[in-house]
Structure 1
Amino acid sequence: MHQLGAFMVSEAREALQDADIILFMVEPQVPGAGDTFIINLLRQSEKACPVILVINKIDLIKKTDLLPVIDEYGKLYCFDSIVPLSAFNPDDLKILINMVEEKLPYGPQYYPDDVLTDQHERFVVAEIIREKIMEATKDEVPHSVAVEIVKWEEREDGLISVSVNIFVERQGQKGIIIGDGGKRLKAIGAAARAEIESFLGRRVFMELWVKVKEDWRSDERTLKELGLR
């Protein structure tokens, strides 16, 4: 396991101890090695809280193929609830949201109603860009993409100028993100900018640069520079 993976597992272990409810989302297929690994983490957790198994993408399989999946997961862990759904179906999502609300404990309101996140704006912007990259490349580029905000300038006319480095581990991944004649990178930038402007409530000028940094997920210095350690 690369260093980033080890760090993320460590963070997940800590998060389990603070969780009020856990949603374990899987695809409609029998558990694989990664799923079993997560279930073992759940077993090791000392925090007793509801665990809901969410089986997504059920619109892609036959109903008769779903029952064996539910049965296999039920043998591995005693889930409080198992919810098969399609994220494209609003009714399915409403059922899940209602279930979460029912199982969550009452507690104080830590933030005002208008506070969407406790993360810095730059972090959210980087995550939006990374999300658009994953949506545009789907399975072509694995989770070896990092986004770094290298310049953030708020101008007097209200425009925010942002320069962004997109790191990948292989030259071939760089070509996939850029696309033929730069078309894919341009589309990623347009989609990200629209959502970022909506989030910030201001106009944004954004430059995207794709760079290769081999095996960055295993490089301690790079992980620290990217704020991932």
Structure 2
Amino acid sequence: MAAQCNVVVLISGSGSNLQALIDSFRDADQPARICAVISNRADAYGLERAKAAGIAAEVLDHKAFDGREAFDAALIELIDSHDPQLVVLAGFMRILSPAFVRHYQGRLLNIHPSLLPKHKGLHTHQRALEAADAEHGCSVHFVTEELDGGPLVVQAIIPVQSDDTPESLAQRVHVQEHRIYPLAVGWFASGRLRLGDHGAMLDGQSLPATGHLIRT
């Protein structure tokens, strides 16, 4: 069996996407191995999820540092101590410095609760309803210095119902997040996914600008 891909997951909150990743890569024959979970908040419930799964759980409090660059430098040092091939953002509520993003170029993934490039930033479900979008969903992308703007890997699309609320949309999007994030991480870990000069590539072929689309 090929060596597993070491993955470090960064969180700030409950860690539901972390749990989906833990569940997907629990078996020894899976391509990815989560070797550490790091949070900038000591009260993040995702740390308990990591401990329950026997994964190293560490806290690096951003409030203990003088500015974003200092925190990110310390975070790089902590991440690199685990020698990961991939770093995964799973509800990590920090805007990353350009130096951090460059350090992990091509091996840093994020999931965002909208069909990027629509609705970058926060409050995506409310904004999708206010825009009267017929479809909504979530996106996995490589992280670049542009916020929520890196090359798309995979998007899951759900129809917006006439009676949807931000809460009902969020619930249905979460289900899809838990499907596509392990899928993308598995592609990367098995060597199928990489960041090329002109965007994301799967099995040696350039993915379209939308990434791989999954409709539900």
Higher-helix-fraction structure: 1
TM-score class, shorter-chain normalisation, is 0.3 to 0.5
TM-score, normalization by structure 2: 0.36
Higher-strand-fraction structure: 2
Query: Whose radius of gyration is greater, 1 or 2?
Result: 1
TM-score, normalization by structure 1: 0.34
